[in-house]
Homo-oligomer: A and B are copies of this chain.
């Protein structure tokens, strides 16, 4: 993976609207593993310097997704450990990138299993956006045939793809516009979302619209759960949050000047609206603590 290929992959990661935060974080680690292998001919000092530079670029590319920076920071802590054997530093760092990605996937799977144990067949869930952790959950629960209400999640409508996947799994599905969240939430036993980041106070950074679902759930007495890997917790507060603004052309309204359109991707749901946080550590009414060292 030479510099041009790396830059190209970095730009693709920055522009990716299809994959969730966990998936993008694991892709970033895969880019580092590939970089280790292609830079293996460098001496150890130059290898570390070059990898650190790439790691920093990757860590900053999706500021609303704490899991990207967190997992890269976990890997970076190993960068200056001595190599197991002479000339083996690159191999060792590549293996560690793969190990961190595997730990992230295992954490998401464990969170999904904890959540699954809280659900009963035939229960009605409402969700917004399309979290990869919830996809693991819904796949595991396919024989239970849940009743799922899914919002389309404008502008890119990832909820439509999720609804199609859930239908294939055999669940009962109702796809609604985001605007109907306040109409349908009262029919649900539980509102359930993933997260792009969890702030230190338990607030949830997630696709715009999540906060509206949480407000409606609170108004209608429906519990609101957030399920994701603990690697998403950040020491950031709401004041630190970058507001990721995507291309307004994604809204698809060519008749209006783009300067008069806004496309903020993520909103922040206050912790007071969250009934429980579900991570690999289990289901808790208290927000998970940030990872040490991240």
Interface residues of A (CB under 8 A from B): 128, 151-155, 157, 160, 163-164, 167, 173-184, 207-209, 211-212, 215-216, 219, 251, 253, 255-257, 260-264, 267, 270
State whether A154 touches B179 (Cβ < 8 A). yes
Contacts of A151 in B (CB 8 A): 179
Contacts of A163 in B (CB 8 A): 256, 260
State whether A207 touches B219 (Cβ < 8 A). no
A35 CB → nearest B CB, Å? 36
State the number of copies, please: 2
* Distance between Cα atoms of A216 and B215 in the complex (Å): 7
Known A255-B164, A256-B163, A256-B164; judge A153-B179 contact (CB<8 A). yes
Contacts of A208 in B (CB 8 A): 177, 179-180, 182-183
* Distance between Cα atoms of A92 and B72 in the complex (Å): 80
11 contacts between A and B (CB under 8 A): A151-B179, A152-B251, A160-B253, A174-B260, A174-B262, A175-B262, A177-B178, A179-B207, A180-B264, A182-B209, A215-B219
State whether B212 touches A263 (Cβ < 8 A). no
Max chain B Cβ within 10 angstroms of own Cβ: one of A155, A178, A181, A257 = A178
Known: A157-B253, A179-B208. 11 other contacts (CB 8 A): A152-B251, A153-B179, A160-B253, A160-B255, A164-B256, A174-B261, A179-B209, A182-B209, A182-B215, A182-B267, A212-B216
A4 CB → nearest B CB, Å? 36
State whether B178 touches A251 (Cβ < 8 A). no
Max chain B Cβ within 10 angstroms of own Cβ: one of A154, A163, A177, A208 = A177
Contacts of A175 in B (CB 8 A): 251, 253, 256, 260-262
State whether B267 touches A180 (Cβ < 8 A). yes
A197 CB → nearest B CB, Å? 15
A160 CB → nearest B CB, Å? 5
* Distance between Cα atoms of A73 and B212 in the complex (Å): 38
Chain B residue, CB-CB nearest to A257: B167
Contacts of A256 in B (CB 8 A): 160, 163-164, 167, 175
* Distance between Cα atoms of A231 and B209 in the complex (Å): 33
A254 CB → nearest B CB, Å? 10
Contacts of A212 in B (CB 8 A): 179, 181-182, 212, 215-216
